[in-house]
Amino acid sequence: MRSDECGIRNEGQPQLRTPHSELNTQMLSQPFRPHSLGSDLHASESDVESILLSEEQIRQRVAELGAQISRDYEGREPVFVSVLVGAVMFTADLLRSVTIPCSLDFMAISSYGKESRSSGVVRVMKDLDESVESKHVIIVEDIIDTGLTLNYLLDNIRNRGVASVKVAALLDKPSRRLTDVSVDYVGFEVPDEFVIGYGLDFAQRYRNFPYVGVLRPEVYGGK
C-alpha cells in the first residue's frame, strides 16, 4: 500500500511556489547533479531564496514516518538501506523514531556519464556490508526526482532475493518523474525547485543546513 493510500502523505505540505523562471526551467528540465562544480563556492545562508521546510516541520514529519513504519513492520525486522550521502540526516532521525527491531546498512552510488544528467545507470561505489537475502528492505533516499536512480536501486535490491522492498524518501518531486516508481513513505512533496539542506547538497555544500531551502538560481547559474 502506498503511503498516500494509507493517509500518511503530509496534508500540511508547504505551499507550492510559483514555477521557476524560464532559464531555470531549462536547467531543471534535466536532473541537476553538479558534483564537479563549485570548488570555490562558499555556502552561506544568503544563498537560500526561501526556507521550504523548517527544522520543526521536518522533525514532526520524520517522527510520523518512523511511527508509521514501526506499525507497518510490527513483527518483522526491516533492514534500512540508506543511500549515501544525501540521506544521512534523514536516516539518522528516521531511525531514532523507529521503535521495532531493525538494522541499518549503507550504499553509495554515483552516476555514469555526464554528471549533470541522471541517466539512471549508476555505479555502486560502496555496497552493503551484509546480505539482504530474505530480508525486508526499506530503501532510504533524500529526494526522488526523475526516479531513474531509484528505479536502478530497486532492481539492484530485488535481484538479491529479498523478502520485500519499500522506499522511504524525505522529499518527492513528482512533477519531474521520468519513470513509474512507487514511493511508499514520503516526507514532503516539493515543487520543481533546486533544494538544499538537511543532507541535500549543491556541489557538496549546504548539507549541514538544518532546514530544507530553495537555492537561489544565481548560485548555480540559473539566472
- CB closer to ligand IMP out of 86 and 187: 86
Catalytic: which of 47, 72, 93, 145? 145
Of 3-11, 19-27, 61-69, 144-152, the window that binds ligand IMP (rule: CB under 6 A) is 144-152
Specify whether the CB–CB gap between 195 and 212 falls below 8 A: yes
Q: Which of residues 86-115 bind ligand IMP (CB under 6 A)?
A: 86
Min dist CB 145 to ligand IMP, Å, is 3
CB 201 → ligand IMP: shortest distance, Å? 6
Which grid cell sits at 56? 520543526
Question: Does 154 contact ligand IMP by CB under 6 A?
Answer: no
- DSSP calls for 14-80: PPPPPPPPHHHHHHHTS----TTS-TT----GGGEEEEEE-HHHHHHHHHHHHHHHHHHTTTS--EE
Site string for ligand IMP, 50-89 (x = CB under 6 A): ------------------------------------x---
Per the document, the length of the chain is 223
139 binds ligand IMP (CB under 6 A): no
# residues contacting ligand IMP (CB under 6 A): 18
180 is catalytic: no
Binding site for ligand IMP (CB under 6 A): 31, 33, 86, 118, 141-150, 194-196, 200
